[in-house]
Structure 1
């Protein structure tokens, strides 16, 4: 398996690693990695691998067989042999923007308390699809409410519950299109706020900022009609 270092510390930008395998598609598998793999609407991380006598630009990361994470090169180049000690470094600006957008989307699901049918995270913007037959009456009020939550600078933390506890609390799952991974005995929850100030709690395996104030100002983008029952709500980072 590849130990997911990003799960322990989403702010870890660099780390050492050892090559444990090479995929048939030309990817690199490490024993432990800071690179988040594409999943749950969040893109895989990009960055760089360096080792004695070589370096390799990483375009993205993806889930591999079992519990492995495969780092996919940006282009052709020599791969580090199995057993090589490498230094891995994230494109931190891109990852941090993903974290800001991801946390903002969790808050958007608070402001619009409707079932979520899809979502996507980017470095400049993100979107959630809602089961929303009619368009919102006041988009400006949605933007104001979202930025008010951000401005409260609420702490963002995680916790774990068992598969059985999740099954007993189906209301925790907001996203209809992506179900939380079960079968491993436990599921990660992301909490925004704490105690009486808690505003959100839902299963999520992605990376998030430590406090909502770190997101910065969010602008509401287009609200698109995606069928009889669905509306797509776009948000944009201000900087």
Structure 2
């Protein structure tokens, strides 16, 4: 069960160890840890059981989409069937949430096809199909912060694969397509009704309102080939 998808603000929860991978990873019955995917890094944190506390370095996606927790150091692992308490590195996760939502806003301010991207804990970037660099950097930064200051609601919903096929405009990323096979695809919406500014497929974690992002600063705009520009942003 993906607890991170039901509540991105859940910081800890009990669970049972249901599997140990050959590589030393831990799979839980339900997970608050988001696995690496969609440009967002996997969560880190800790597992506790029987007086032991195991640091988790990152989380990867395993079979059937399961979250596989990767210990940060060699240590004895909790056996299958062990009841554990999982705890997120919340400060890092929250920065990732803020930045992921900020990058969605960047795709609104720069309305060009996205060729790549990466979410970081405090910094992030999107690559755009942009033959010429933007003329007014300050205008981009101001537009981003205006969207933040509007404190727009961020929500999610689901769409069928057939419905998404009928609305290809929803997919902004050229290099990465939404995962298929489950029948439904998650959509993240920023703003509601006439205030809606963005709607696109995304499986990542986001803040509840854009005001939670805080001030943003535009970083370097790098040339990444004949047709591509990389736009970097940072939390202030």
TM-score (norm 1): 0.98
SS in 2 for 1:178: coil
2:235 paired with 1:214: no
SS state at 1:6 partner = helix
Unmatched tracts of structure 2, length 5 or more: none
Pairwise mapping of residues 173-212 of structure 1 onto structure 2 (< 5 A)?
A: 173-212=171-210
The C-alpha deviation readout for 1:80-114, integer Å capped at 9, x for no partner, is 00000000000000000000000000000000000
- SS in structure 1 opposite 2:128? strand
SS in 1 for 2:53: strand
1:101 aligned residue: 99
Any gaps of 5 or more consecutive residues in structure 1? none
In structure 2, the residue corresponding to 1:32 is in which secondary structure?
A: coil
1:143-163 residue CA offsets vs partner (Å, 9 max, x unmatched): 000000000000000000101
Distance across 2 between alignment mates of 1:200 and 1:53 = 46
Q: 2:28 aligns with which of 24, 30, 47?
A: 30
Deviation at 1:53, TM superposition (A): 3.5
Alpha-carbon separation, structure 2, partners of 1:90 and 1:213 = 23
The 2-side partners of 1:19 and 1:100 are apart by 30
What is the CA distance between 1:25 and its match in structure 2?
A: 0.6
Q: Secondary structure at the match of 2:148?
A: helix
User: Is 1:58 equivalent to 2:56 in the alignment?
Assistant: yes
The secondary structure found in structure 2 opposite 1:50 is strand
Q: Are the aligned partners of 1:124 and 1:236 in contact in 2 as well (CA < 8 Å)?
A: yes
Which whole-Å CA distance do the structure 2 matches of 1:155 and 1:169 have between them? 23
**CA displacement, residues 26-83 of structure 1 (integer Å, 9 cap, x when unaligned):** 0100010000000000000000000014221000000011232100000011100000
What is the match of residue 118 of structure 1?
116
CA RMSD of the aligned region, Å?
0.5
How many corresponding residue pairs?
Answer: 236
Deviation digits for residues 146-181 of structure 1, max 9, x if unmatched? Answer: 000000000000000101000110000001111001
